[in-house]
Structure 1
C-alpha cells in the first residue's frame, strides 16, 4: 500500500504526526509513505522509517505570481504526480491542505481521507475527501491524529503511549552533561522574559551542567548571545539544520522550552524537558512523550490562544501570564528528573 500524507506545518504539528505513522506501520507492515510538507520542514519526515519520499511545497512563497514561483510549482506538480497512491490522507484539515491533497493521483479504487467537517475549524475542507473520520476536537493533537489514522485505515486504535519512531537517545558521558534552552518561538505571547532564561542558565551552570542555546533567526541569535554572555559553560550553537539539532539533542541530558517545535522534538526523543505554556493550551498541544513536564500558567486568562497580548502596555512589556515564573522551581523540576 502506498500512502500520501499531507501535513504541511508547523514543526510541532509535523512531529505530532509521527506516532500515527508508527501505528499505521505496525498495523500495515510494508506500507510506503510519501509526505507532503512545507520545504522549511522537509528534513523531518525522513526521520520516520516508513517515509520513502518527501514532496516539498512552499505555499506562502507561491502566492506571488513570479516566474520563478511558477516554475517551482510546476516542478512540484510533476514530482507529485509521478506516483499514484492507494490512499491520500489530509492530516492538516485546512482548505489549503485539502486543495493540495487533490493534486495527487489515486490508483483505481483509491481513497482520499480526512477529518469530518465538525472535527476541524475549516469545515468545508471535508468536502474534498471521499472518507471522513469524526474526531473530538477537545483532545491532544497527537490523539486526534492517531484516531484519524485508525478510523481512516480501519484498525483498532492501539492502547499504548505514542511512539515517534525516532532514534534512541544516547547521552554522552565524556563531557559536561548538557541542558538545552529552547527560547525561540513564533508567537510573541509564547515568549518568557529574557531575565528568566538568564537566571536559568546561571542556576544550571552552578549545578555543574553546560548550557547550550540554538537559534533560527537574528533576533533569537541576539537573545542567545545575551543569555550566554560572560558564562563559561554556556555555548551558542552555530546555525544548524534540524537534523544536526536532532543529533545534538540525542546526546543531551535535558531541556527547558517555551511552546516551540524543538520542545516536541525533545518529547519525540524522550529527552527530559520542562515546557512552559501561557497563551497556548498544554492539554491540546503540549509536548507529549516520556519524561515531559508541562508548566501551564495559572493566570486567569491563560490559555488565551492569542498571538498578541491585549494586556501589553508601555509599563507591562511581557505577557503577564509569565510574571510569576520562578527559575529555581523550573530548574529544580528538571533536575529531579535527570539527576
Structure 2
C-alpha cells in the first residue's frame, strides 16, 4: 500500500470509454471517491459519451470536465490516434484510472507522461501499483472499479449519488399534475433485449395489484425504442400510463425520483432509480445481479433459480425465458413489504 501526497495530485482522469447508461452510472462511485479524497484536484471524464447520457455527467459535482475521444477512430485511424496521444501529453495528468481493457488506449495512456496510472488492462503490466483483479466477474462492476484506489492507501466507500437541478423536475411535475397523479410506482418493463424482460402479462397483473390494493397508479418508464412494449401494456390496463417519450434523461431521472417505488428489469432506468436511493425491485434472469444489480441501499433483487442462470446470453439455447420463472406472488410480497414501511 502506498501513501500518495494529495497536495501533489492536481489533475485526475478516468477513462470510461463509450458506456451505456448502466455502465456510466457504475463509474460514478469512483468519481465520488476521487472528489472526497482529492478535493482540490481537477477531475476529468475521458471517453465518448452518448448524447442522451451526457447531461448526467455535466450535472455531476464530481466531474469538472470531459475529454472526448471516439474509441473506434483512435484504434483505426492514424490521424485520430496521433491527436489522442498528443492531447494526452498536453493535458499532463498526475493520475489516470483506466476502466477499459483495450491494449491501444492503455499503451498510449501509459506513455503520455502521466505520473500515476492505475489499470486492470494487460494484466496490469503498465499500472504504477497493482490492484486486486481476482474478483473480476465475481463482484459488482462498480465495486471492482473501486479496487483501483486501494493501492493508493484509499479505503473506498460505495457512494451512489446523482445530481439533478430543480429545472429537471419541471416537466415531470407538470405531467403528473395533468394526469392527476399524486402517488405512483414506476415500472421499467423494457430493456435492451427481450431475454431480460419479465413478461408483459406479469407486469399487467402487478400494475393492477398496485392499484387495487394500494391505490397506486403505475407509470411505464422507457425511451422511444421501448414505446411499442409499453403501449402493449398500457392498452390492457387502465391503471398505467406511459411516460412522455420526449423526456430527456435528466427529466426521466427526476420522474423516477418522484416515485414511491420502481419495479423493473435490469436496465438503465432501473439503475437511475437505484442511484437516487428510492426503493427498487430489480428482476433478474439471464443477467447477473452480482455484477450489475441495483446498488442503492433501498434496492431488492429477485432472481430466477435455474441452474444455467445467469448466462449473460442474448438468446436462450434452451428456448426458455428464465426471468418469467420469477413469480407474481414473490413480486407482490416484496411490494407489500416495501409499501408497508411507507
| TM-score scaled by length of structure 2 | 0.79
Which SS does the other structure have where 1:252 is aligned? Answer: coil
Partner of 1:298: 305
Distance 1:230 1:191, change over 3 A: closer
State which of 15, 26, 35 in structure 2 corresponds to 1:25. 35
Size of the aligned set, in residue pairs, is: 314
8 Å CA contact 1:200–1:328 kept in 2: the answer is no
**1:243 partnered with 2:239:** no
3-state SS, counterpart of residue 55 of structure 2: coil
Structure 1 residue 298: Cα displacement: 0.6
Structure 1 or 2: more helix by fraction: 2
Tell me the distance in 1 between the aligned counterparts of 2:105 and 2:56. 18
User: What is the Cα deviation at residue 83 of structure 1?
Assistant: 2.9
What is the aligned counterpart of 1:98 among 88, 95, 106?
106
Query: CA offset at residue 307 of structure 1?
Result: 2.0
Given that 1:271 and 1:291 are in contact with CA atoms closer than 8 Å, whether structure 2 keeps it comes out as yes
Q: 1:10 aligns with which of 20, 31, 35?
A: 20
Q: Does 1:189 align with 2:189?
A: no
Give the structure 2 partner of residue 89 of structure 1: 97
- Residues 113 and 131, structure 1, Cα contact 8 Å, conserved in 2: yes
Would you say the 8 A contact 1:177–1:252 is kept in 2? yes
| 2:162 pairs with one of 163, 166, 170 | 166
- The CA deviation string for residues 218-257 of structure 1, in whole angstroms up to 9 with x for no partner, is 3x11011111115444221223222111111121111012
Contact 1:56 1:76 in 2 (8 A): no
User: What do residues 166-212 of structure 1 show as CA deviations (whole Å, max 9, x unaligned)?
Assistant: 24999989843121111222244212222112222222232311211
Q: In the TM superposition, what whole-angstrom CA distance separates every residue of 1:307-330 from its partner, at most 9, and x where no partner exists?
A: 221012xxxxxx331232222431
Matches within 5 A, 1:265-280: 265-280=272-287
Q: Tell me the CA shift for residue 265 of structure 1.
A: 1.7
Q: Could you tell me how far apart the structure 2 residues matched to 1:14 and 1:102 are? A: 23
Match of 1:320 in 2: 321
Structure 2 CA distance, aligned partners of 1:63 and 1:239?
A: 35
- Report the CA distance shift for 1:184/1:32 in structure 2 as closer, same or farther (over 3 A): farther
SS in 1 for 2:46: strand
- How do 1:1-339 and structure 2 match up within 5 A? 1-8=10-17, 9-40=19-50, 41-59=53-71, 83-95=91-103, 98=106, 101=109, 105-106=112-113, 110-115=115-120, 124=122, 126-135=124-133, 136-137=135-136, 138-151=138-151, 154-158=152-156, 162-167=158-163, 175-206=181-212, 207-218=214-225, 220-229=226-235, 231-237=237-243, 238-312=245-319, 319-338=320-339, 339=342
On the 8 A contact 1:98/1:125 being kept in 2, the answer is no
1:257-315 Cα distance to aligned partner (Å, 9 max, x none) = 21112222222100101101111221222111211001111112111222221012xxx
Which is richer in strand? Answer: 1
* TM-aligned CA distance change 1:21 to 1:63, over 3 Å: closer
CA distance in 2, matches of 1:71, 1:249: 43
More deviation, 1-10/224-233 = 224-233
Alpha carbons of 1:156 and 1:80: their partners in 2 closer, same or farther (altered >3 Å)? closer
TM-score, structure 1 normalization: 0.80
Contact 2:274 2:295 in 1 (8 A): yes
- Report the Cα distance in structure 2 between the residues aligned to 1:75 and 1:124, rounded to whole angstroms: 23
Instruction: Report the Cα distance in structure 1 between the residues aligned to 2:239 and 2:88, rounded to whole angstroms.
Output: 47
